[in-house]
Structure 1
Amino acid sequence: MSMETDTRPWGYYTVLNDEKDHKVKKIVVSPQGRLSLQRHQKRSEHWYVIQGEAIITLNENKITKLPGEYVDIPCGTIHRVENRGDKDLVFIEIQTGSYFGEDDIERLEDDYGRK
């Protein structure tokens, strides 16, 4: 089974499992990279940190998660992850909900000019 890897300006992700009721990704954020500030209307996410230090924005709050720690992101929550370190940040993302397409990303702010 081949796994789909998609490159982004902040790093890349690999889809590990894509089912009707969930999707699992391995996400790698390059040093000093960060994802867009975003939210989803049709899915919740669970992030489990494997390597590095994740600085996570959840609505107005910023929290730090280290390897072995996790955060749950309910549907509709504004969120972002950033890597302020000098090594790759690696985490596993488990999506649950009714739809897992990339067009369910509502970008509120993006360092790379994406809409």
Structure 2
Amino acid sequence: MSQKCKSESERPWGHYEVLTQKPGYKVKTLTVLPEGELSLQRHAHRNEHWYIVSGKGIVTKNGSEIRVLVGDSVDIPVNEEHRIKNIDNENLVFIEIAQGGYLGEDDIVRLEDKYGRE
């Protein structure tokens, strides 16, 4: 019997679960609680594709705001400033596909964070 490679991680804004990871890509599901938001951040080694599966949010990309609903997707190139905020009273859930040569969680440069993380 094979072991599942899923792993969950709690965050102040909600949690994420790694669904699969192979050389060059990682797939996660992220759940952002009502009024929660990820830090304004960028990545030096990966791009990301987000697909909204439930809830409503605002994505900030390089200073522009984009409203996202179920079925919407957003592409985030390497080094582009970005964040997502839940603007609904239900959880915002999205699938993230990260692609690049390095996919570690330490490839995050936080520019702003309402939870005080660096």
RMSD between aligned residues: 0.6
1:3 aligns with 2:6: yes
Match of 1:100 in 2: 103
Deviation at 1:34, TM superposition (A): 0.2
Matched, 1:32 2:35: yes
Letter in 1 for 2:32: V
**Which one-letter code corresponds to 1:33 in the other structure?**
G
Confirm or deny that 1:83 pairs with 2:91: no
* Secondary structure of 1:102's aligned partner: coil
Q: 2:63 & 2:112 partners in 1: Cα distance?
A: 14
1:2 CA displacement: 4.3
User: Could you tell me how far apart the structure 2 residues matched to 1:41 and 1:3 are?
Assistant: 25
Deviations 1:36-95 (A, max 9, x none): 000000000000000011200000100011111100000000000000110000000000
Give the Cα–Cα distance (whole angstroms) in 2 for the partners of residues 2 and 20 of structure 1. Answer: 14
User: Higher Cα Rg: structure 1 or 2?
Assistant: 2
1:10-29 equivalence runs, <5 A? 10-29=13-32
> Aligned pair count?
115
Structure 1: gaps spanning 5 or more residues? none
Separation of aligned partners in 2, 1:26 and 1:77: 21
The whole-number CA distance in structure 2 between the counterparts of 1:67 and 1:84 is 13
After TM superposition, the runs of 4+ consecutive aligned structure 1 residues lying more than 3 A away are none
Unaligned runs of 5+ in 2: none
Report the equivalent of 1:53: 56
